[in-house]
Amino acid sequence: MLADCHPEVSGQDLPNCHPEVSGQDLSNYPLPTIMKLAVIDCGTNTFHLLVVDVQPNRQFEQVFKQRQYVRLGQEGLDYIGTAPFQRGVDCIAFFKEKMAELGVERYRAFGTEALRRASNGPAFLEAVRDNSGVEIQLISGDEEARLIHLGVKQAVPFIEGKTLIMDIGGGSVEFIVASEDQVFWAQSFPIGVQVLFSRFQKSDPILPEEVAAIHQHFDEILAPLHTVLHQHETPWLTGASGSFEVVEDMLLRERQHPTHAIVSTPDFYKIHDQIIPANLQQRLQMPGLPPERVELIAVAFVLMDYVVKKAGIQQIVTSAYAMKEGMLLEMAGGR
């Protein structure tokens, strides 16, 4: 099992799994015992640690979950600033200690758009490795999309037909057109909320002309998505990110299901129409909107609004699972 996972040095260090495919697909075989696995997701805004017990039938039981708003791209995505750099290194060290405390047997750590793009991204990877022994592997946008689909389909009951899956990150946004068993198209675009905020939003609240400039940018950069939406009817939008969690939390007092919720398009616009004209202080007072998200949430809703209208979305499904859960599923299957 997990023959491609190499132990690091002795003591408290944990085996770090690298995502190359192992020689044998073990996904159809029961596990001999419960395994404790973990994933570290180093995003542009948020670093996540997810620890689970994998049962012999390969079902997950969450043991520990934490996110820290490192804001790696706070000073721009081309270069990681001194303060975010140190926050990231410290966060990974804390996650490593937590995994050792919880008895994690295998883990993977991966980085996305901010670490792919920043000129000092390699220096950050080296600093993390020297400080905590954690090896962060950079994955491509296409690999992100594949893992997101794998995670989402564990959480969301797919309807007949196709859905448009959307994962909004700080540096990039992944779009996937899929059914439960097939991915028809997937692509990553560098239009994450930190990118949009840094480039377009200079006023608070966001101005109509800034929204118009963002729309114009989308018209150009999302041309491949427009083409695909003409080829595939996708009345459902499946959202897998913190921005969609905000929609759910601001609308629903209680989660409808442990791993997903359904929001109508009119209900989405109730929240959209509150957020877009509000300034920072007003957003801070909104129930269900976490303080760490108030700065970037307006551009996130501009993006969601654009996609809902372009795709003719009728219902939004929020998914509690995404890339981390997709990677855990592969780890449990011997990959």
β-sheet bridge partners, residue 47: 42, 68
Q: What is the pLDDT of residue 7?
A: 30
The stretch 312-324 carries a mean pLDDT of 94
Residues 7, 15 contacting (CB under 8 angstroms): yes
pLDDT tens digits, one per residue of 286-304: 999 999 999 999 999 999 9
Q: Residue 89 in contact with residue 109, Cβ under 8 Å?
A: no
Give the mean pLDDT of the chain. 89
Overall average pLDDT of the 214-234 stretch: 97
- Give yes or no for residue 245 having a pLDDT over 70: yes
Give the per-residue pLDDT at 309.
Answer: 97
The pLDDT of residue 149: 93
pLDDT for residue 92: 98
Helix and strand totals (H; E) in the chain: 12, 13
Residues 178, 304, 330: CA angle, nearest 5 degrees:
40
Is the model's pLDDT at 65 over the cut of 70? yes
Short-list 213, 212, 111, 214, CA closest to 171: 111
Q: For 198-208, what is each residue's pLDDT tens digit?
A: 999 999 999 99
Return the higher-pLDDT residue of 118 and 159: 118
pLDDT (mean) for 222-234: 96
Task: Give the residue-averaged pLDDT of 91-119.
Answer: 96
- Helix (H) / strand (E) element for 95: namely helix 82-102
Higher pLDDT: 2 or 145? It is 145
User: Residue 189 corresponds to which amino acid?
Assistant: F
Domains and CATH numbers, the chain: 5-139 (3.30.420.40), 142-323 (3.30.420.150)
pLDDT 10s digits, 22-51: 233 334 545 557 899 999 999 999 999 999
